[in-house]
Amino acid sequence: MLSDRQKLILKAIVEEYVVTNEPVGSKSLTNKPYLDFSSATIRYDMQHLEEAGFLEKTHTSSGRAPSEKGYRYYVDNLLTRDEEIKDIYLGLDRILDNKLATKEEALQQSINYISDKTGYYVSILGSSACYAHVKKMEIVPLSDKDALLLIVTNSGVVRSQRIIVPDNFKMEDLLRIMSMFDVAMYDQAIYEIRDVLSKEAMKPRIRQMVDFRDDILNFMIKGFASFLNTECYQSGLAKLFHQPEFQDYQVMQKIIKAIDESSLNEYMLKRGQGLQVHIGEENEAAGLSDCAIITIPYFLDENEYGTIALVGPKRMNYRQTVPIMEYLAKSLPKIYK
């Protein structure tokens, strides 16, 4: 259990270390107006914080740096929002309220902007339709062999996929099969489509009414599978490597590999509801144990959502990044409407 004074000292050390990346000594803390204590008192409490695992002593200085446990306590108990980031909110509003920008342009511009302001890597996984429910399904022929597969979800979002009708199969047969499946597909989650199609294809009425071959079933499943693909936007990897913690070549390689091999994307998809901060070894994403990762979902409705992630050093400016991520998650849904 930390005393109020120890909490103030830990908060001051974290916030100074975030700015300077230099171990913090007791003398520099006595200059802070809210730490009106003697240097000896502060040194005593710093010793206690170190023994409790909240601070670490470096080999090159008598000062202390926050440990992962110290950052964790700070984020969970001592974090306050930086009031000076309101200008960043206004900048995001200008991007997301631009009626001339496409959804894709707005998503990319917003993370470019946040990366510029923070110096960290930012990624957005676009809205996942996995849990959306089908309300209307239609095939719109474009030619004898070319068509557009449309799905309207329960949130009103229209998703489309261009399809090519297989050889030796006519467009009218495809339209007829789709009309047979229409009732069965209604209100099914998109991730259930494969099972629904397979189950319906085994019914005698389907096989009697049309020469329903397995290659047609596979073709339809493949067409619907594209709706499960998630868009990904990213920005700021080069900026991330300007951080002093990431100057080591091996650390850089691990981070690049994690992002290139989509370890971060898989990690983002597993996150639960609400903002989450994972620091250092708390990260399950392979290769990112030297980082702090903030993830937060943005919801179009209870079934459709995307995920935003911000990756930086453990010495991250949490006072700035946490409210920025919260504001972006709250604001993003308007570009889908």
> Which regions of 4-112 does DSSP assign to beta strands (E)?
55-57, 64-66
* Same domain (yes/no): 194, 253: no
* Same domain (yes/no): 116, 142: no
Whole-number Cα distances in Å, 337 to 90, 148, 239 = 20, 22, 32
Residues forming beta bridges with residue 66, ordered by sequence position: 55
> Which tens digit of pLDDT belongs to each residue from 163-218?
777 777 778 877 777 777 777 777 877 767 777 777 776 777 666 655 555 556 66
Candidate from 58-67, 78-87, 240-249 with smallest mean pLDDT: 58-67
Give the pLDDT score at 147: 82
Give the pLDDT score at 329: 94
* Same domain (yes/no): 142, 68: no
Give the pLDDT score at 64: 92
For the chain, what is the mean pLDDT? 84
Written as six digits, the tokens of 17 are 């270390």
Give the pLDDT score at 82: 82
CB 314 within 8 A of CB 291: yes
* Same domain (yes/no): 323, 263: yes
Q: How far is Cα 231 from Cα 146, in angstroms, rounded to an integer?
A: 24
* Same domain (yes/no): 22, 41: yes
> Which tens digit of pLDDT belongs to each residue from 209-256?
555 555 566 666 666 666 656 678 899 999 999 999 999 888 899 899
> Which tens digit of pLDDT belongs to each residue from 162-175?
777 777 777 887 77
Give the pLDDT score at 30: 87
Written as six digits, the tokens of 58 are 């470096």
Q: Is the pLDDT of residue 50 over 90?
A: yes
Q: How far is Cα 113 from Cα 130, in angstroms, rounded to an integer?
A: 29
Average pLDDT over residues 114-126: 93
* Same domain (yes/no): 142, 193: yes
Nearest to 7 by CA among 37, 57, 45: 45
The residue range of the domain holding 213 is 134-228
Q: Is the pLDDT of residue 7 over 90?
A: yes
Give the pLDDT score at 161: 73
* Same domain (yes/no): 67, 105: no
Average pLDDT over residues 140-145: 84
* Same domain (yes/no): 122, 254: yes
* Same domain (yes/no): 111, 257: yes
Report helix angle 4-20 to 39-51, nearest 10: 90
Q: How far is Cα 33 from Cα 43, in angstroms, rounded to an integer?
A: 17
Q: How far is Cα 32 from Cα 205, in angstroms, rounded to an integer?
A: 80
Number of Cβ within 10 Å of residue 75's Cβ equals 18
Nearest to 124 by CA among 106, 149, 147, 99: 106
Among residues 228, 255, 281, the one where a domain terminates is 228
Which CATH number is 154's domain given?
3.30.390.10
Q: How many residues does the chain have?
A: 337
Q: How far is Cα 174 from Cα 184, in angstroms, rounded to an integer?
A: 16
* Same domain (yes/no): 313, 237: yes
Give the pLDDT score at 186: 79
Q: Is the pLDDT of residue 302 over 80?
A: no
* Same domain (yes/no): 119, 249: yes
Residues forming beta bridges with residue 159, ordered by sequence position: 151
pLDDT > 90: what percent of the chain?
A: 42
Written as six digits, the tokens of 246 are 């990431």
Give the pLDDT score at 237: 92
H or E segment and range at residue 62? none
Whole-number Cα distances in Å, 101 to 58, 94, 144, 308 = 49, 11, 34, 20
Which CATH number is 330's domain given?
3.30.450.40
Give the pLDDT score at 89: 95
Tell me if residue 93 falls in helix, strand or coil: helix
Q: 81 falls in which pLDDT band (50, 70, 90)?
A: confident
Written as six digits, the tokens of 335 are 């570009």
